[in-house]
Structure 1
Amino acid sequence: MTEADIKEEAYKILEILISKPFSQCYCLTRDFKQLPTSPGIYAIKHKNEEILYIGKSGAIRARFRNGHNALTQAFFDRLDPADLRIATFVVTNRQIRQLSEIESLILQKVDKPKYNSRIPLVE
């Protein structure tokens, strides 16, 4: 994939995450059993459609089952868990190799999500 292809893929994924209606995103649960086990990009969204966090994972469900700092921060900010949902985009085998770069491009395009502490730069 060329750099232009990767950028185009990243922006398509971002648009999918942003445009996914809150009602169609995954609810927070104790075991996150409904989340995909596949690698992908995910967004933690607030009910007002604001994206609070964007991340990547080699196994989305495992990422949340092992704890997630953004959810801890939301707890301390006293956000109602019912007002939070997770939007996901499962990546293809071709996209897995560029997962970090795709995440970085997405984070640079979005107005800094509240719970992303650092925005990785694309090299």
Structure 2
Amino acid sequence: MVCHQRSILWPYIRRQGELSDSFNILQGVRQGGILSTNLYKIFVEDLLVELEKNAIGFSLGDIYCGTPTCDDIALISSNPAELQIMLNTIGRYANQHHCNIHPTKSKVICYGSAKNHRTNT
């Protein structure tokens, strides 16, 4: 099913009104595809299990809150050291699975009083 979904796509690039030859997409999920979100969650499931096994980050009762959405994952922690461990785990996963983490698309958002925040440079 997944292979068939990819095989019927013939992507190309349009530049200055000209179309390139079509090419195969060898990695990733189709943007806007009906299965894309679920395929992404299946792909990162072992990462989420590893993050949960570390027993760090935010949980609601017994539910770990490393929340995958589309092609994003929200990491939530009140402890900078725990957050760094989660980031290191994701970095290892990305290297093992030949994924890129885009620094310009990655953000750290601090909540709470400013006196508890510190900035690493």
User: TM tier, shorter chain?
Assistant: under 0.3
Normalised to the residue count of structure 2, the TM-score between the two structures is 0.26
Considering fraction of residues, name the structure with more helix: 1
TM-score, reference length from structure 1: 0.25
- The structure, 1 or 2, with the larger RCO (C-alpha pairs under 8 Å, 6+ apart) is 1
